Amino acid sequence: MRREDKITAEMQEKLKEKIIAIEVPRERRIFAYIKTEALKESIKFLKDIGFKHLSTITGVDVEDGIELIYHLALDGSIELSLRLKVQKDDPRVPTITDIIPGAVLYEREVHEMFGVNFEGHPDLSPLILPEEWPRNIYPLRKKHTLEHLKNLIFKKEDGE
């Protein structure tokens, strides 16, 4: 049995119906799609079986929500992408910084770029965007095209 299959079997046994889908597209890659409420439980479980390294958190604007993908690595080798979906209006998810402290900047990045609220995060102040950046404008969301963002900023600057 491959290591990847063993991990997926273990996950399925532990998280059961909280897993919506799981696949192994190639060697050393796993994509798992879980229910939103199972985030902390899954991260805790994965950390216990060796996924201690969080590579990053990716946000993706999909039509009916925002997907968060937690990329976790086992001994630097197997990269597991744990995916969950949050609502577009008022997206919120608990922070995982209490389980993996290394997530602190990645959560802030997603917070700024997609407007996802990480509940319980110690500090969600601006990290990347300027202080004067308009509130509630999350630049990596699809509805904000470059033209839209440009207009927005120049309008403010010209005082129109």
Binding site for another protein (CB under 8 A): 25-26, 28-29, 31, 52-56, 58, 60-61, 69, 71, 73, 75-79, 81, 100-106, 109, 113, 123, 126-130, 132-133, 139-140, 146, 149-150, 153-154, 156-157
In which region does residue 14 sit, left (phi positive, over 0), alpha (psi from -120 to 50) or beta (all else)?
A: alpha
Residue 5, SS3 per DSSP: helix
Cα(83)–Cα(11) distance, integer angstroms: 14
Beta carbon nearer to another protein, 37 or 129? 129
Helix (H) or strand (E) segment spanning residue 113: helix 104-114
Distance of closest approach, residue 92 Cβ to another protein, in angstroms: 21
Distance of closest approach, residue 148 Cβ to another protein, in angstroms: 11
Distance of closest approach, residue 112 Cβ to another protein, in angstroms: 8
Beta carbon nearer to another protein, 37 or 105? 105
* Rg for the chain, CA atoms, rounded: 18
Beta carbon nearer to another protein, 15 or 72? 72
Distance of closest approach, residue 24 Cβ to another protein, in angstroms: 12
**Cα–Cα distances in angstroms (integers) from residue 139 to residues 25, 59, 117, 152, in the given order:** 31, 12, 15, 11
